[in-house]
């Protein structure tokens, strides 16, 4: 990726100012997480890139610094599929005087064909996409509470429109499928975002919880970045055929960045949900989430599952 590309097209949406904000992005070394980190840094935010693979994290951070020499970029080792790793990261971060935004981005997109478990004995996709971020949010809530205007931002997905969750089997111990594992985990993460916002309000907290989804964003439509996004020519052609209903991950980050920085969201009633204007692609706008993700009964079951899985209480 050349410097000439960056100012022309990388960051035309959204325009919010991140100066003075400290933002933690999980899974920041590639995909939506990388472009979110880049765009937040371009807007003046200090970005903590929390990643499982520190070699990849440092490479991604160096790429951003090469484009933005004055950016404040830090890295942190974090594997959200491991509750021990989450606890270690929380211990390192809890002394921060402020944390403006927690972007819960890390996740499994291509779920394994057969059911696997995390080091904690939890279904791997749910552990990565939901349980780890539940634990991280619980651990960092004190830091967020002492930061005026702070927010927790969870990544949702269009997959929430396509399945109904198995409330009595949220870890898919029976009849596992990779597609259901991914879609159900995203229902859980999105439901968590909106339920957390309700509970924060009831507790009198000033922290907000909201959600954003990146539409249909794919690597073959994303700018080449050495060591970050390197699709081959065949991938470019195949993904290019899908151009009418896809976009690059650099554009998929727009709703995430807007949700992180939009100053008007703090005064609005929930659920607060951002996505691309044309559902699968386009500029960042507020949208209506899948009904299942705002259902109170479903939310209670999903919340209870996380408390049992993590052995942590949150609000």
* 182 annotated active-site: yes
pLDDT band with cut points at 50, 70 and 90 for residue 312: very high
pLDDT one-digit tens code per residue, 108-146: 999 999 999 999 999 999 999 999 999 999 999 999 999
User: Burial of 160 by CB count in 10 Å (0-12 exposed, 13-18 middle, 19+ buried)?
Assistant: buried
pLDDT of residue 2 exceeding 80: no
The reported pLDDT for the residue numbered 14 is: 53
Note the CATH number of domain 5-310.
3.40.50.720
Bridge partner list, 273: 211
pLDDT of residue 287 exceeding 80: yes
The reported pLDDT for the residue numbered 221 is: 95
| Among 216, 215, 217, 212, CA closest to 286 | 212
pLDDT band with cut points at 50, 70 and 90 for residue 4: very low
CB distance 91 to 82 below 8 Å: no
pLDDT of residue 23 exceeding 70: yes
> pTM of this prediction?
0.94
The reported pLDDT for the residue numbered 11 is: 45
**Given 130, 176, 182, 216, the catalytic residue:** 182
**Which residue ranges make up each domain of the chain?**
5-310
pLDDT band with cut points at 50, 70 and 90 for residue 15: low
pLDDT one-digit tens code per residue, 150-208: 999 999 999 999 999 999 999 999 999 999 999 999 999 999 999 999 999 999 999 99
pLDDT of residue 12 exceeding 80: no
Task: Give the dihedral sign, CA 287/288/290/292.
Answer: positive
pLDDT of residue 7 exceeding 80: no
pLDDT one-digit tens code per residue, 209-258: 999 999 999 999 999 999 899 999 999 999 999 999 999 999 999 999 99
CA 242 to chain centroid: 24
The reported pLDDT for the residue numbered 265 is: 86
Phi/psi of residue 76, nearest 5 degrees: -145, 135
Mind spelling out the 3-state secondary structure of the chain?
CCCCHHHHHCCCCCCCCCCCCEEEEECCCCHHHHHHHHHHHHCCCEEEEEECCHHHHHHHHHHHHHHCCCCCEEEEECCCCCHHHHHHHHHHHCCCCCCCEEEECCCCCCCCCCCCECCCCCEHHHHHHHHHHHHHHHHHHHHHHCCCCCEEEEECCHHHHCCCCCHHHCCCCCCCCHHHHHHHHHHHHHHHHHHHHHHHHHCCCCCEEEEECCCCECHHHCCCECCCECCCHHHHHHHHHCHHHCECHHHHCHHHHHHHHCCCHHHCCCCCEEEECCCCCCCEEECCCCHHHHCHHHHHHHHHHHHHHHCCCCC
The reported pLDDT for the residue numbered 3 is: 36
In b/e form, how buried is each residue of 29-50, taking b as 16+ CB within 10 angstroms? bbbbbbbbbbbbbbbbbbbbbb
pLDDT one-digit tens code per residue, 43-101: 999 999 999 999 999 999 999 999 999 999 999 999 999 999 999 999 999 999 999 99
């Amino acid at each position: 990726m050349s410097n000439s590309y960056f100012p022309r097209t990388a960051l035309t949406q959204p325009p919010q100012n991140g100066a003075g904000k400290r933002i933690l992005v999980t899974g920041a070394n590639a995909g939506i997480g990388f472009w979110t980190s880049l765009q937040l840094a371009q807007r003046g935010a200090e970005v903590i890139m929390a990643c499982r693979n520190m070699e990849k994290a440092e490479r991604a951070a160096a790429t951003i610094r090469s484009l933005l020499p004055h950016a404040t970029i830090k890295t942190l080792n974090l594997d959200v599929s491991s509750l021990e790793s989450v606890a270690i990261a929380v211990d390192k971060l809890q002394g921060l005087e402020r944390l403006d935004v927690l972007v819960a981005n890390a996740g499994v997109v291509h779920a394994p064909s057969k059911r696997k478990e995390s080091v904690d004995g939890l279904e791997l996709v749910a552990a990565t996409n939901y349980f780890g971020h539940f634990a991280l949010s619980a651990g960092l809530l004190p830091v967020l509470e002492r930061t005026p205007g702070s927010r927790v931002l969870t990544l949702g997905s269009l997959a929430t429109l396509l399945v109904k969750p198995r409330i009595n089997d949220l870890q898919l111990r029976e009849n596992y499928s990779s597609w259901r594992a991914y879609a159900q985990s995203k229902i859980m993460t999105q439901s968590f975002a909106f339920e957390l916002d309700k509970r924060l309000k009831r507790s009198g907290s000033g922290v907000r919880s909201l959600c954003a989804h990146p539409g249909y964003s794919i690597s073959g439509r994303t700018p080449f970045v050495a060591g970050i996004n390197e699709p081959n020519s065949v991938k470019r052609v195949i993904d290019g055929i899908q151009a009418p209903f896809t976009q690059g991950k650099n554009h998929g980050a727009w709703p995430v960045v807007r949700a992180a920085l939009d100053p008007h969201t703090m005064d609005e009633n929930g659920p607060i949900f951002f996505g691309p204007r044309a559902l699968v692609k386009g500029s960042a706008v507020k949208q209506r989430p899948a009904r299942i993700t705002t259902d109170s009964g479903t939310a209670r079951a999903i919340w209870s599952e996380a408390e049992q899985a993590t052995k942590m209480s949150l609000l």
